[in-house]
């Protein structure tokens, strides 16, 4: 694929963050394992099983854990806060990598001065820590983090806000997601939604316009 020609077809680029630009999914998985170990349980899920749950809806992980461990006592918010602490510890160790193709794509977008924005469920503190480790992420000028909107994906609020702030009339807008929740959020906007996933169903089943195995498919 001619990356430069493809880029010129759009004016505004919207991105999810976790699992799309940065390989944080394994750290989220490890954080859940650590959280459960701290409670005296062994979470023996395979990584693909975790990804399918995480990418499908906002309650699949919670329901799966409680189904597998019915004796687990604390409420989910307590468990999730423990998981978040474990995750923050892991990213503080500097074990974050870019997803394949991301460096090349972001470099080209920066080179051609294309408008671009991330809309993520991650809080600003986590984003700052990860950006400090991966300089190419600092070429993205606009970031909408969890503190900047009320309704999480699949509600389109975060992407609508990105378009409101950084879009212009007549823009050709494209958005990239790696989850069903994110895909539905993009479908609630004027952006062309592109699903980047090798663990979810086919684009025809999802009603998605395009699908690439990874961002490296675009950067080739």
List Cβ neighbours of 98 (8 Å cut-off, separation of 6 or more). Answer: 21, 22, 23, 134, 136
**Number of residues that make up the chain:** 220
**Ranges 15-24, 52-61, 90-99, 188-197: which has the least confidence:** 52-61
The band of 95, judged by pLDDT with boundaries at 50, 70 and 90, is confident
Mean pLDDT over 78-87 rounds to 94
pLDDT at 217 over 90: no
List Cβ neighbours of 184 (8 Å cut-off, separation of 6 or more). Answer: 153, 154, 156
25-92 topology per CATH? DNA polymerase; domain 1 (1.10.150)
Query: Cβ distance 114 to 107 under 8 Å?
Result: no
User: CATH number of the domain at 3-23+98-219, out of 2.115.10.20, 3.40.50.720, 3.40.50.1000, 1.10.760.10?
Assistant: 3.40.50.1000
pLDDT at 146 over 80: yes
Give the integer Cα–Cα distance in Å for 208 and 204.
6
pLDDT score, position 15: 98
pLDDT score, position 210: 53
Mean pLDDT over 139-148 rounds to 98
pLDDT digits (tens, 9 = 90+) for 179-201: 888 999 999 999 999 988 766 55
pLDDT score, position 216: 67
- Give the gyration radius of the chain's Cα atoms: 18
Q: Which part of the chain has CATH 1.10.150?
A: 25-92
Torsion of CA 146, 149, 154, 157, to 10 degrees: -140
pLDDT score, position 203: 46
Q: Which part of the chain has CATH 3.40.50.1000?
A: 3-23+98-219
């Amino acid at each position: 694929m001619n990356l430069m020609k493809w880029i010129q077809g759009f004016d505004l680029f919207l991105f999810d963050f976790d699992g799309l630009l940065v390989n944080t999914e394994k750290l989220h998985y490890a954080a859940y394992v650590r959280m459960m170990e701290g409670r005296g349980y062994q979470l023996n899920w395979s990584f693909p099983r975790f990804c399918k749950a995480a990418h499908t809806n906002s309650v699949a992980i919670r329901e799966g854990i409680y189904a597998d461990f019915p004796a687990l006592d604390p409420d989910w918010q307590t468990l999730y806060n423990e998981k978040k602490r474990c995750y923050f510890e892991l990213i503080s160790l500097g074990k974050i990598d870019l997803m394949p193709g991301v460096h090349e794509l972001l470099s080209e977008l920066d080179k051609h001065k294309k408008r671009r924005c991330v809309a993520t469920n991650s809080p600003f503190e986590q984003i700052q820590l990860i950006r400090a480790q991966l300089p190419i992420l600092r070429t993205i000028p606009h970031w909408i983090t969890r503190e900047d909107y009320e309704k999480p994906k699949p509600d389109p609020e975060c992407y609508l806000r990105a378009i409101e702030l950084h879009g212009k009339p007549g823009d050709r807008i494209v958005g990239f997601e790696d989850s069903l929740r994110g895909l539905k959020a993009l479908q609630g906007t004027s952006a062309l939604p592109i699903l980047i996933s090798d663990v979810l169903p086919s684009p025809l089943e999802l009603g998605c316009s395009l699908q690439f195995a990874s961002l490296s498919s675009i950067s080739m």
